[in-house]
Amino acid sequence: MKRIHGAQEVVVDVPGWRSVKPRIPDTAQRRQLERERSIREIVFGAQDGILTTLGIVTGVGVAAGHRPTVIITGLLALLAGTLSMGVGQYLGGKSEREVVQATIDMEKAEMDAHPQDEFAEQVAYYKLKGFSSEEAHTIVSRLVKNPEIYLYEMMRDEFGIDPRIAKEYSLRPAFAMAASYAAGSLIPILPYLFTGSPVIAAIAGLVLAVIGLFAIGAFAARLSGRNPFAKGIEIVLYGAGVFVIAYLAGRFIPPLFGHAPVSVGG
């Protein structure tokens, strides 16, 4: 076994490696990153759940002042939003896979119909990466003998996508989106379960919403290596901006149509 010695030892040749069928590389690090990228669904779902439900229960609480009405409205909003977010994420992922698969099929058809053109195109991509013309020809000539890897390289260089996306069917993002939305939606509802005063519940809901948004930011920072406090403040400020815009819209847009202001957001 030969190794290159340096900051990290890298295996460059292993006896018997030629008997292994060439395949697209996959690593534990790649799979871990794919799991961590689900933070997008968690942040989006939880933040949307907090802000949407906060606006609804606060508005209903101020307008109706009836605790059971606020709780029922909030729980219905939680249920509808959870189902909508989960199904939306699933259908969005499914549509993405279908688009990628259609692109793969198109590229396969081009490789079958115009192999020389595709060969020249891939050579050009390797030359752009700094390889000499001879080196690029050697690499692509080897790739042609392994169709799966050749297609992978073409898709990556021409379209900037990983063709494995088309096969990565998983319900995890949909469940993550739905669960995070439900958890976020529950936060503004909780105060109404323990107090009969709409004003106190509204204030408590707003405080809990700020805490929840900050916690989301801190959690995201842990995965991205950023400052938890700064990231938490960032999410809180974005959330506050959305809430203020919703309040102003409910305050000033309805009168333009002869309607009384709507207490969205308080």
Helices 39-64 & 172-194, crossing angle to 10 degrees? 30
Q: Is the pLDDT of residue 233 over 90?
A: yes
Average pLDDT over residues 210-228: 87
pLDDT, residue 239, reads 84
Percent of the chain scoring above 70 in pLDDT: 79
Query: Is 16 strand, coil or helix?
Result: coil
More confident residue, 264 or 58: 58
Chain segment 37-64, per-residue pLDDT in tens: 667 788 888 888 998 888 888 777 666 6
The mean predicted confidence, pLDDT, of the chain is 80
Residues sharing a CB contact under 8 Å with residue 171, sequence separation 6 or more, in sequence order: 90
Chain segment 21-32, per-residue pLDDT in tens: 556 666 676 666
Angle at 189 between CA 184 and CA 193, to 5 degrees: 140
Chain segment 83-131, per-residue pLDDT in tens: 999 999 899 888 988 988 999 899 888 888 888 999 999 999 999 999 9
pLDDT, residue 119, reads 92
pLDDT, residue 64, reads 61
What does the chain come to in residues? Answer: 266
Of 25-39, 179-193, 217-231, which one has max mean pLDDT? Answer: 179-193
More confident residue, 34 or 218: 218
Tracing tokens 């847009």 back to the chain, one arrives at 253
For residue 11, the surrounding DSSP H or E stretch is strand 10-13
pLDDT, residue 33, reads 66
Here the contacts of 100-107 (C-beta below 8 Å, separation 24 or greater) are 100/161, 100/163, 100/165, 100/166, 101/166, 103/155, 103/159, 103/161, 104/151, 104/155, 104/163, 104/166, 107/151, 107/154, 107/155, 107/158, 107/159
Chain segment 125-168, per-residue pLDDT in tens: 999 999 999 999 999 998 888 888 888 888 888 888 888 887 77
pLDDT, residue 214, reads 94
More confident residue, 255 or 146: 146
Nearest Cα to 137, choosing from 154, 120, 152, 149? 120
Task: Tell me if 23 sits within 8 A of 149, measured CB to CB.
Answer: yes
Q: Is the pLDDT of residue 7 over 60?
A: no
The b-or-e profile of 101-120 (16+ CB within 10 A means b, else e) is eebbeebeeebeeeeeebbe
Query: Is 21 strand, coil or helix?
Result: coil
Q: Where are the alpha helices (DSSP H) in the chain?
A: 28-36, 39-64, 67-113, 115-128, 133-144, 147-159, 172-194, 198-224, 228-256
pLDDT, residue 13, reads 45
Q: Is the pLDDT of residue 1 over 60?
A: no
Q: pLDDT grade, residue 16 (50/70/90)?
A: very low
Dist. CA 94–CA 42, nearest whole Å: 19
Provide the 8-state DSSP code for 171.
Answer: S
Dist. CA 212–CA 194, nearest whole Å: 18
Q: How far apart are the first and last CA of the chain?
A: 69
